[in-house]
Amino acid sequence: MKAAFFDIDGTIYRDSLLTEHFKRLIKYELIDPRQWENKVKDLYTQWDMREGGYDAYLLGLVDTYVEVIQNITVEQNEFVANQVIDVKAGRVYKYTRDRIKWHKAQGHKVIFISGSPEFLVSKMAEKYGADDYCGTIYHYDGERFTGETTPMWDSVSKQKAIDKFVEKYNIDLDESYAYGDTNGDLTMMKSVGHPITINPAKGLLENIQKNERLKGKIQIVVERKDVIYKLSSDVDIYECSFIEEWEEE
């Protein structure tokens, strides 16, 4: 069996499902907006202004999210999660949306593996017809979330998830595909015969270029505005301080 493993945030969805959920918890006055203002806003602003890294922002967001979600009931969360999917789930990249359709037409198993909460990942999987999924589990005790998690945002956890799906569906990894955009997806890409990264983060791109085996088989896809194009794995990476030098070449 061939499979296609998809990360969601930044790969299918053009932002972060967890971010959208966090914002709607504030909108519906289920958490104090000062939680965002005091703990997350600066990290977000630094990333948004391209003065800080996306990974640093996301890790800060996750830490705060795990803390505040303890005050939310399961019923409240289900309402907000449905709102996120109803309003935001269509905000996806055309490339990966079309690739999901292509894999389904080929009879491949389409599997979503995401660091976003599993209660959001499951709804995205249903919307886009994925055969299976795995996300970060936020544990709850009857009515409320406990603050305990089983994470799925790191590379090691995603590798364990792939191993589980390989056994479950008898998947041939050499003939399978993986799509991702950050270092959390690195082992997923190393595992398959056909890795594709879409709009890769700098850290992921640097690690790809350090790994000759991965570098030789990966496709790098960029989707900007109304254009989708591919780059060589030897693509140059420039820091802002080197832009003038680059222009002179």
**What is the number of domains present in the chain?**
1
Residue 247 lies in a domain: no
> Residue 245: pLDDT band by 50, 70, 90 thresholds?
low
pLDDT value of residue 241: 57
Residue 145 lies in a domain: yes
Domain with 82, as residue range(s), is 3-231
The CATH number assigned to the domain holding 146 equals 3.40.50.1000
Mean pLDDT estimate for the chain: 90
pTM: 0.91
> Residue 244: pLDDT band by 50, 70, 90 thresholds?
low
pLDDT value of residue 153: 78
Give pLDDT tens digits for 63-74: 888 888 887 898
> Strands, DSSP E only, in the chain?
3-6, 109-117, 132-141, 144-150, 177-180, 194-198, 219-224, 227-231
User: Who wins on pLDDT, 153 or 81?
Assistant: 81
Mean of pLDDT values over 2-10? 96
